[in-house]
Amino acid sequence: MSISMYQASVPVLVRGLTNLQAILGKAEAHAAEKQIDPSVFIGARLFPDMLPLVRQVYITTDTAKGCAARLAGVEPPKYDDVETTFEDLHARIQKTIDYLKEFNAAQIDGSEERSITLKMRSGPIEFTGLSYLLQFVLPNFYFHVTTSYDILRHNGVELGKLDYLGGR
């Protein structure tokens, strides 16, 4: 039995984003309970040379929307990266989930050999659809979801492995 490109991308990304929503919700509740200014968490980093939580969320959502769009052969939407509150981040994540849900299997299945070029600061990177999904999107997506989790856990938010994995 094989798995389709759609099954390996959109539902997986939606689940990760949904879990990130819940993690941010716990951070928001923790800030309220402990009377901590929420901006402390939004700007928190694991180390001074790492990006803050807000940027981790930006990259997570950009990776997800870019994946579905590129696999479907359409231009990904641009986000302005202006979110600065938990409410803003929840809205951004929900906007991304809603965007992903606009895609169906017929648009993405068969994209394994689609040529995808990413324009990076260091120059363009060429992928096939399959290598883009498996070797770039999924590792990058999970890196930034995990880093968001780690930033919040490091700052005292009570999170566990099941918060990261989410419900079935």
pLDDT digits (tens, 9 = 90+) for 64-88: 999 999 999 999 999 999 999 999 9
Identify the pLDDT of residue 2.
84
pLDDT (tens digit per residue) in 100-136: 999 999 999 999 999 999 998 999 999 999 999 999 9
CB 129, CB 114: distance < 8 Å? yes
Identify the pLDDT of residue 117.
95
H-helix or E-strand containing 128? strand 123-128
Nearest to 127 by CA among 74, 70, 58: 70
pLDDT band, very low/low/confident/very high, at 168 (cuts 50, 70, 90):
low
Q: What is d(CA 33, CA 53) in angstroms, rounded to the nearest whole number?
A: 20
Q: What 3-state class would DSSP assign to 159?
A: coil
Identify the pLDDT of residue 167.
73
pLDDT (tens digit per residue) in 18-28: 999 999 999 99
Question: Distance between terminal CA atoms of the chain?
Answer: 22
In the chain, alpha helices (H): 5-34, 38-42, 53-72, 86-100, 105-108, 129-131, 138-154, 161-165
Domain residue limits, the chain: 5-165
For residue 1, pLDDT over 80 is answered with: no
Q: What is d(CA 150, CA 156) in angstroms, rounded to the nearest whole number?
A: 10
pLDDT (tens digit per residue) in 142-164: 999 999 999 999 999 999 999 99
User: Could you name the CATH architecture of 5-165?
Assistant: Up-down Bundle (1.20)
